[in-house]
Chains A and B, each alone.
Chain A
Amino acid sequence: MSQQTTPTTAPQPPATTSRTAGASSGPRPLAQVLGNQQVILVVVLAVMVAVFSVINPKFFSVGVFGNILVDWAPIALIAIGQTFVVISGGIDLSVGSTITISGVVAAFAMQAITGAGVSDPVSILMGAVVAILTGVVVGLVNAVLINQARLVPFIATLATLGAGAGLSLVLTKGGPVGGGPPSAINLSVPVLGPLSWPVVVVAAVALIGGAFLHRARFGRYTYAIGGNQFSAVASGIAVKRHITKVYVLSGALAGTAGMVTYLTLSSGSPSSGLGDELNAIAAVVIGGASLTGGVGRMGGTILGSLILTTVTSGLIVSNIDPNWNQVVVAILIAAAVSLQTLRGSHQRRKP
């Protein structure tokens, strides 16, 4: 940076700077560990698994965990995308219907490809490409609506949410789209313990996503824009271009989730993905992100999405009316946000 480091007038270091954040090195006090949202989430998840296992010992099994993870995969994918969007200060409501439309479009593509006598693996691969590209298109539309048409993200993605859901119904006339590669269904079955191929892919996406969020320029700009857009502009960051990348990423991951959903259903359904945007937002918020932007962790999102899908499966296995699911999720969201606010007011120093 500065070429010269001449010790100029070198005034005294400000006296105000002496006492801060001494906790950055050395063993961390217990209060700080407990104040870490991710630690709390791990505990919550462990307690949930324990409680559900006590209620119904069958819950603690490779089979149930395998099912939970298959349910988790598409939610985790859109939650990973949503993490970037929310940290950038936006919101992407379109991810649920992007799952729908990308699954439907990919289903039509695979129907045609398989019908033409192409082998299953090639057909599935091409279906995945089509699904991801469909998601990219939705992301680009979102970005244009936000950057060029100047809509706030909520409205822009509400528009594409409606358009995607409607278009899916128009294309499918309301019914499932089958006729794809017959062996597609096998891909969502666990191959190693509770792990199925989609789960392995999602785990890899989570790791790579986390690395880009926390260790690379892409994530740094995402935090900067969400935290203080004006300072990001003043720092010479191409904010609009970055916003475009973030929504395209979210769209591409929703497209991937659409393909995963196709694999579990073995067809493109106009009702898959319905309302999943709220699951993604819930996962991100439970994971510690703030909808005001600039705050959030990939690890939190992954734990948040795991907690969500565990609650759903756990209630079913426990023979509790699964409609309680939404109530439990609501409580989790309220608790997570309240915890965050309390911690925030506890830590923040007055100027």
Chain B
Amino acid sequence: MSEQHAAQESYIYEVRHVDKSYGSVVALHDVSLGVRAGEVIGLVGDNGAGKSTLVKVLSGAHQPDTGTILLDGHEQRWRSTHQVLQAGIETLYQDSGLAPNLTVSANVFLGREIPVKGILGKLGFLADKQMDVTAHQDLESAGIGVPASNRGVSQLSGGQRQAVAIGRAVSWARKVIILDEPTNHLGARQAKEVLDVIRAAKAKGLGVIFISHTLPHILEVTDRIVVLRLGQIVRDAPTSEFDAESLLGTITGLISSS
């Protein structure tokens, strides 16, 4: 557990000594983790290990009971997810999905719409054409091709919807992107595309926190792996120190933490 403290200074986003309980249930205990710019960390753990809670703390959906959150070394007290988005941190929640009846570009711009110029814009009228063009350009540059369409995204396949959701997060993120189970329910080919998008985000200089149960994906794309078990971090080490077997053992607790 000492190696992550050595390079603490260079973390773009980190939490230190975070505790979070729901009633009598301790979801996180003394959790410290950080991600550097251009680094992909994998966050793994069994069901109930506290991954989702940690994601909620990182995305501002929940406030930790104790502990600190630092962005670029400055302490933050998130009061809303909106504040976190404004700070350049994007989160793709597990199965949060998209607004099914809005178009691809309306989804990409949801919460950050571009108004038309003038008084109509002040009333909230939207520059849909402009958003259409920009959205598809941005998705393309994130490595995602989706058909231009004026239909709701519910008309797209599950893989396409997930691609849009990830592309949306990547194109808006300025600092960090948190992906909770982005390859869930995806076929092998689509999952590979998601991993490519993660690599692209890394190349863009974003810090990526990648949560997944699919250990081969974690081993393939991450620089470092953090293992959560029963609300505590039991291992935080470069990916090169793991293989499939030792990673699984650490997650399940069959291999004790070093």
Chain A residues close to B by CB (< 8 Å): 1-11, 13-18, 20-22, 24, 211-212, 215-218, 220, 223-224, 226-228, 230-238, 294-295, 347-351
Contacts and interface: CB of A to CB of B under 8 A. Distances in A.
Nearest to A351: B158
B163 A235 contact: no
B66 interface: no
Contacts of B152: 227
B144 interface: yes
A346 B128 CA distance: 28
B137 interface: yes
B150 interface: yes
A207 to B, nearest CB: 14
A1 B203 contact: no
A209 B231 CA distance: 49
B199 A234 contact: no
A6 B141 contact: yes
Nearest to B80: A236
B154 to A, nearest CB: 7
Contacts of B189: 14-16
Main secondary structure of the interface of A (DSSP, over half): loop
B46 interface: no
A53 B204 CA distance: 68
Contacts of A237: 110-111
Contacts of B10: none
A1 B172 contact: yes
B249 interface: no
Among A7, A11, A15, the one with the most B-chain Cβ atoms within 10 Å of its Cβ is A11
Contact of B137 (A5, A11, A18): A5
A9 B199 contact: yes
Contacts of A18: 147
Contact of A217 (B61, B100, B124, B137): B124
B242 interface: no
Contact of B81 (A14, A216, A236, A295): A236
Contacts of A21: 147, 149, 151, 155
Interface of B: 59, 61, 80-82, 85-86, 91, 93, 96-102, 106, 108-113, 115, 123-126, 128, 134, 137-138, 140-141, 143-152, 154-161, 163, 170-174, 185, 189-190, 193, 196-197, 199-200, 203-204
Contacts of B134: 1
B55 to A, nearest CB: 11
A231 B97 contact: yes
B203 A351 contact: no
Contacts of B200: 8-11
Given A24-B150, A227-B101, A14 B193 contact: yes
B82 A236 contact: yes
Contacts of A15: 189
8 contacts: A5-B137, A6-B203, A9-B143, A13-B144, A24-B151, A235-B85, A236-B85, A347-B155
Contacts of A234: 59, 61, 81, 91, 93, 96
A349 B147 CA distance: 15
A231 B94 CA distance: 10
A236 B197 CA distance: 23
Contacts of A2: 138, 141, 170-174
Nearest to B194: A14
Given A14-B163, A16-B157, A223-B102, A8 B126 contact: no
Given A7-B141, A8-B204, A349-B157, 11 more contacts: A9-B143, A9-B203, A14-B144, A17-B145, A20-B149, A24-B148, A217-B124, A234-B96, A235-B85, A236-B81, A236-B82
A227 B141 contact: no
Contact of A1 (B138, B145, B161): B138
A227 B101 CA distance: 6
Given A9-B199, A11-B143, A216 B106 contact: no
Contacts of A215: 125-126, 128
Given A9-B200, A15-B189, A217-B124, A235 B146 contact: no
A2 B88 CA distance: 10
Among A16, A226, A227, A238, the one with the most B-chain Cβ atoms within 10 Å of its Cβ is A16
B115 A217 contact: yes
Nearest to A14: B193
B160 to A, nearest CB: 6
Contacts of B126: 215-217, 220
Contacts of A211: 125
Contacts of A235: 85, 110-112
A14 B143 CA distance: 9
Shortest Cβ-Cβ A-B pairs, 10 listed: A351-B158, A13-B145, A235-B111, A236-B82, A217-B124, A11-B196, A21-B149, A224-B99, A216-B124, A8-B200
A24 B189 CA distance: 27
A220 B145 contact: no
A4 B204 contact: yes
B40 to A, nearest CB: 13
A233 B211 CA distance: 20
A292 B62 CA distance: 28
Given A1-B138, A223-B101, A351 B125 contact: no
B99 A5 contact: no
B126 to A, nearest CB: 6
Given A20-B155, A236-B85, A351-B157, A8 B110 contact: no
Given A14-B190, A17-B145, A212 B124 contact: yes
Contacts of B141: 2, 5-8, 10
